[in-house]
Structure 1
Amino acid sequence: MAYEKADQRVRYTKMVIKNSLLELMRERPISKVTVTDICRKADINRNTFYSHYANQFELLSSIEDELYEDIRQVVGRTMNLEGSGKLSYEICKYIKANSNICKVLFSENGNKDLLERILYISHDFNIEKWKNEAKQIDQKLFDDWYTFTAYGSIAIIEKWVNSGMKESPGKIAAFIDKATEAVPYL
């Protein structure tokens, strides 16, 4: 019972630390955020912070990795159940449901590589699907096509997130799907 209570306190402390960093990053990039800033915002001492994270960059990396892993699981479930047809929608729905984190991480103060990492989760599945549909086409063409569609999708999602996510996830996903529906072998 004591272990469970301690574990609960650790989870709470980490949540407060993470939320404090995200709040600070609404105003400035990680390079301008110090551990002292985070500790003040979280109302904790530096020893508490350092018992969980080495620095503010490790903390940010931890937040990004959690988001990435959550979305990777969403992609895995979607690909296993329905193929890629609902993938854009499921990703957009997840982003909207986690808008507080995504608005910060996908903003100019966040890491531009994170959204790219997320959209490349389905890379192998899509390449395999395209190869099965057009066996005579070169692998490089498929990779180039995926890069083209992924970067276009990244731009649309960033614009959507940074403009306040006024459109529904379904509308954004439908746009992405329509814009990327051409296949590289036509």
Structure 2
Amino acid sequence: MVIKESLLKLLTERSINKVTVTDICREANINRNTFYSHYANQFELLSTIENDLYEDIKQVVINSSNLKTPEKLSYELCKYIKANKTICEVLFSEHGDKALLERILYISHDLTIERWKQELKYFDQPLFESWYTFTAHGSIAIIKKWVNSGLKESPSKIADFIDKATQSVSKAFYSEEL
């Protein structure tokens, strides 16, 4: 854990490309042999941290999908992010991996598309894909802004904003059906 925390601390100052194993060992107060007994290099360590975060968020999405209300998902995600502030601040920052955010965006893709198929009378795959992309990227932008500004607002306030914005877009699609 101290190795992971040391890398996260270093990533608040610079990108992964500018962090060395020596830097991590110095920060963690361990020797290189200890580091190499767990990880091949700093990139593998970062990948492990990112994958752990991804799996945790995936579990939040899966658990929230059983609740049958999309609003609950936004709140649960924001609550998770707030509870894991340090790691999220680093991984969602300019020094974080942009591919991680893309992976996170599409965790709930299939569940959301399936829900829309069931709720709407017509199905237009390209339209639904665009709808999902728009709402997902907008939600991530709000979350990223919230994280990068220090998570000052409550998870419920951010989730409420995301839900209202998403619902306003969704109303246009639902009203087309009537």
The alignment of Structure 1 onto Structure 2 pairs a total of residues equal to: 172
Task: Report the counterpart of residue 124 of structure 1 in structure 2.
Answer: 110
Two-structure CA RMSD over aligned residues (Å):
1.2
Aligned counterpart in structure 2 of residue 66 of structure 1, from 52, 55, 60: 52
Counterpart of 2:68 in structure 1 is 82
What pairs with 1:14-163 in structure 2 (closer than 5 Å)?
Answer: 15-163=1-149
Partner Cα distance (1:122, 1:106) in 2: 19
Structure 1 residues not aligned, in runs of 5+? 1-14
Pairwise CA distance, 1:82? 3.3
Give the aligned residue type for 1:45: N
Q: Is the 8 A contact 2:12 2:90 kept in 1?
A: yes
Tell me by how many angstroms 1:155 deviates: 0.9
Which SS does the other structure have where 2:23 is aligned? helix
Is the Cα–Cα contact under 8 Å of residues 78 and 90 in structure 1 kept in the other structure?
yes
Q: For the Cα contact (< 8 Å) 2:16–2:95, is it kept in 1?
A: yes
Question: Runs in 1 of length 4+ with deviation above 3 angstroms?
Answer: none
TM-score relative to the length of structure 2: 0.92
Deviations 1:101-152 (A, max 9, x none): 1000101111122223223111111101111122423111111110011111
CA distance in 2 between counterparts of 1:82 and 1:127 reads 14
Question: Match of 2:4, as an amino acid?
Answer: K
User: What is the percent sequence identity of the aligned residues?
Assistant: 72
Q: 1:12 matched to which residue of 2? A: none
Structure 1 length-normalised TM: 0.89
Q: Which runs of 5+ in 2 are unaligned?
A: none
